[in-house]
Amino acid sequence: MNKFMENNKRPDDMKRINTQELAEAFISEQVEAIKKQVGDKKVLLALSGGVDSSVVAALLIKAIGQQLICVHVNHGLLRKGEPEQVVEVFRNQMNANLIYVDAVDRFLDKLAGVADPEKKRKIIGAEFIRVFEEEARKQDGIEFLAQGTIYPDILESDGVKAHHNVGGLPEDLQFELVEPVKLLFKDEVRVVGKALGLPDSMVYRQPFPGPGLGVRCLGAITRDRLEAVRESDAILREEFAKNGLEGKVWQYFTAVPDFKSVGVKNGARTFAYPVIIRAVNTVDAMTATVEDVPFALLQHITDRITHEVEGVNRVLFDLTPKPVGTIEWE
């Protein structure tokens, strides 16, 4: 395996890791490899709470415990409950060395007034690097950087998690890389995560873009609309889970545009934002079809969102496949 790891090439005869047993064998092998690579040195990891970085964190905790320093940057664009779950699972349950950085104001200040989607992505990516770099500089004796690179990253973009928009650390912070899952496909990473004892809500979660809710709070981000996106997304996820759609639909979320419409509530006129629901299925995210969500469920979700989410008076369902639309709105 190690020779193949060095070449970034998956051996032709490597078995697909699709059972607990194969996952456990992979874990033992990687724990030994990590110990050998790292020795008694320290390793830094940006832990977003996504599947890949969470599985890498759990593997490294098993291999080197407190020598791993996880940094979780809360940029304010995560889904409801996500930062709390990272702290709960990694610090409280796995006893990890976790640095939690509350960078919400910093990100939102930088993003204020910026409406262009690509500019928003760049700001989020660049600011993420800056925050991570600051935390890295506070630490003494780091020699390694762990990354959740997976095999599709190597195949599709030269081993760079390009879709994470994260860019790179400066020259003087170029640590040796530890990439224990870089020969695995996504489904295998999930099987390994499950075998490492990570919760299902982390292991089986739907894809979530690096810039997070930032590209679902359309146009220039404001705190009120960002909260509307977060709260409506939480309601959508709760209702999809309750109604058996959680594992069935590939990706589902809400977006909030930056225009208002007239409505009426308790006999009075309102002027508030709409929430857009998107629910799609795809194999590779290059094309996508719209999930046929039961109408009664959509009505129930509409009822909940318009009553429970502040500043919202309408709910729309996006019927557009990809192409012509993209999955995200920005």
Chain residues binding ligand XMP by CB under 6 A are 121, 163-165, 207, 209-211, 251, 285, 322, 326-328
Secondary structure (3-state) at 42: strand
Exposure of 212 in the CB half-sphere (CA atoms within 13 A): 27
User: With respect to ligand XMP, which residue has the nearer C-beta, 299 or 326?
Assistant: 326
What residue type is assigned to position 298 of the chain?
A: L
Cβ distance 274 to 263 under 8 Å?
Answer: no
CB of 266 to ligand XMP, least distance (A): 37
CB of 325 to ligand XMP, least distance (A): 8
Q: What sign results for the dihedral spanned by CA atoms 211, 215, 219, 224? A: negative
CB of 274 to ligand XMP, least distance (A): 20
User: With respect to ligand XMP, which residue has the nearer C-beta, 91 or 163?
Assistant: 163
Alpha-carbon gap, residue 15 to 215, rounded angstroms: 38
User: With respect to ligand XMP, which residue has the nearer C-beta, 123 or 195?
Assistant: 123
User: With respect to ligand XMP, which residue has the nearer C-beta, 285 or 297?
Assistant: 285
Q: How many C-beta neighbours within 10 Å does residue 243 have?
A: 15
User: With respect to ligand XMP, which residue has the nearer C-beta, 28 or 326?
Assistant: 326
User: With respect to ligand XMP, which residue has the nearer C-beta, 302 or 320?
Assistant: 320
Alpha-carbon gap, residue 94 to 86, rounded angstroms: 10
CB of 300 to ligand XMP, least distance (A): 25
Alpha-carbon gap, residue 239 to 297, rounded angstroms: 8
36: left (phi over 0), alpha (psi -120 to 50) or beta: alpha
Distance of CA 266 to the CA centre of its chain: 38
CB of 273 to ligand XMP, least distance (A): 21
Alpha-carbon gap, residue 125 to 75, rounded angstroms: 10
